[in-house]
C-alpha cells in the first residue's frame, strides 16, 4: 500500500490554543491529526478542535475523537463545525459523550 | 434526475477514498446535499475496508444514480467474504468498523460473492422529486 500522504489535510495551532483543521479527515490523514493531538495532550484538559475549514470526516476521525476523550478524560471540544460535519457526527451514535460542540464558537456558514 | 453510472478501477492507496469522493462530488452534484454527504461517508467506509484486503488493488468502485432516485454504490475487492453483521460497539478494528455507519444510514446494503472476491454495496434513497417519479 502506498504511504503517500495527500495535501488535502492540514493542522495548525490557533491563537486560542485550538488545533485548527483544514481539508478532509479519513484513513489517509487521521494519523497526522492523532500525532499532533498526542503531542499537545494533557490529561484532564480538553482538546479543542476548530473545524472551520474541515470539509469531511469518516469513522477513523470518530475513533480519534474517542481515543482523545479517553486519554484526556474530557470531551473533545469542536468549534465551527459545518452542517455537513454535524450531519456526519450525528450518524456516529456509538460514543456521543466523546465530543461536544462549542456553540459560542459557531459562525453561521453555508454548507 | 437522469441515470448516471460511473465505474472506477482504483489502486490500493491510502488516497483512494479521497479520489472516490471527488468522483462522487462530480457526478452527484445535483443530489440533495444531505444525500451527497451520506454517499461520500458510506463509500469512504467501504473503500477503506476494501483497502485492508486489497494488496492487488480494489477491483472497482461502481457508483450509479438511477432514474428512480436511488443512489447505489458497489465496491469490489479481492478479499474474502464476511458475515454482514456490523460489529458491536467497542470492537473498533477489522472490516466491520465502518459498517456500523453503513447499517445505520443506508436504505439497504449487502455483501455478495464475486468471481474473485466480494462485492459490498449500499443504496440510499433520495427523497421523491417533482417530475413524475417512478414509484419504487
Tens-digit pLDDT profile for residues A40-96: 999 999 999 999 999 999 999 999 999 999 999 999 999 999 999 999 999 998 889
Least Cα separation, residue B131 to chain A (angstroms): 26
More confident: A5 or B49: B49
In three-state form (DSSP H/G/I as H, E/B as E, the rest C), the secondary structure along chain A is CECCCCCCEEEEECCCCCEEEEEEECCCCHHHHHHHHHHHCCCCCCCEEEEEEEEEECHHHHHHHHHHHHHHCCCEEEECCCHHHHHHHHHCCCCHHHEEECHHHCCCCCC
Contacts of residue A88 in chain B, CB cutoff 8 Å? Answer: 37, 41
Region of A88 on the Ramachandran plot (φ > 0 left; ψ -120 to 50 alpha; else beta): alpha
Q: Does the model's pTM come out above 0.90?
A: no
Task: Determine the 3-state secondary structure of B10 from DSSP.
Answer: coil
Q: How many CB pairs under 8 A join A and B?
A: 71
Tell me the pLDDT tens digit for each residue of A12-34. Answer: 999 899 999 999 999 999 999 99
Joined together, the cell numbers standing for residue B27 give 457526478
pLDDT above 50 (res B29): yes
Place B81 in a pLDDT band, splitting at 50, 70 and 90: confident
pLDDT at B41: 97
Work out the number of other CB atoms within 10 angstroms of the CB of residue B49: 24
Place A36 in a pLDDT band, splitting at 50, 70 and 90: very high
Interface residue ranges in chain B relative to chain A, Cβ cutoff 8 Å: 11-15, 17-18, 21, 33-34, 37-38, 40-41, 44-45, 48, 51, 55, 89, 92, 97-98, 100-101, 104-105
Q: Greatest CA span in chain B, whole angstroms?
A: 45
Interface ipTM above 0.90:
no
Amino acid at each position: 500500500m502506498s504511504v503517500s500522504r495527500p495535501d488535502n489535510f492540514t493542522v495548525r495551532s490557533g491563537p486560542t490554543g485550538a488545533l485548527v483543521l483544514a481539508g478532509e479527515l479519513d484513513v489517509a490523514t487521521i494519523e497526522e491529526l492523532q500525532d499532533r493531538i498526542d503531542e499537545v495532550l494533557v490529561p484532564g484538559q480538553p482538546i479543542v478542535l476548530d473545524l472551520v475549514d474541515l470539509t469531511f470526516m469518516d469513522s477513523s476521525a470518530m475513533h480519534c475523537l474517542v481515543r482523545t476523550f479517553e486519554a484526556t478524560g474530557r470531551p473533545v471540544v469542536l468549534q465551527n463545525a459545518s452542517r455537513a460535519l454535524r450531519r456526519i457526527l450525528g450518524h456516529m451514535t456509538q460514543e456521543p459523550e466523546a465530543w461536544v460542540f462549542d456553540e459560542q464558537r459557531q459562525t453561521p456558514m453555508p454548507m | 434526475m437522469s441515470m448516471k453510472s460511473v465505474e472506477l478501477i482504483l489502486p490500493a492507496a491510502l488516497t483512494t477514498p479521497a479520489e472516490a469522493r471527488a468522483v462522487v462530488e462530480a457526478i452527484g452534484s445535483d443530489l440533495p446535499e444531505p444525500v451527497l454527504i451520506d454517499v461520500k461517508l458510506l463509500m469512504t467506509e467501504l473503500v477503506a475496508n476494501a483497502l485492508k484486503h486489497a494488496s492487488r488493488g480494489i477491483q472497482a468502485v461502481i457508483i450509479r444514480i438511477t432514474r428512480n432516485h436511488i443512489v447505489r454504490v458497489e465496491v469490489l475487492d479481492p478479499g474474502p467474504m464476511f458475515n454482514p453483521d456490523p460489529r458491536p460497539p467497542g470492537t473498533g478494528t477489522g472490516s466491520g468498523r465502518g459498517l456500523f455507519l453503513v447499517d445505520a444510514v443506508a436504505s439497504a446494503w449487502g455483501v455478495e460473492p464475486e468471481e474473485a472476491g466480494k462485492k459490498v454495496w449500499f443504496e440510499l434513497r433520495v427523497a421523491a422529486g417533482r417530475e413524475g417519479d417512478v414509484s419504487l
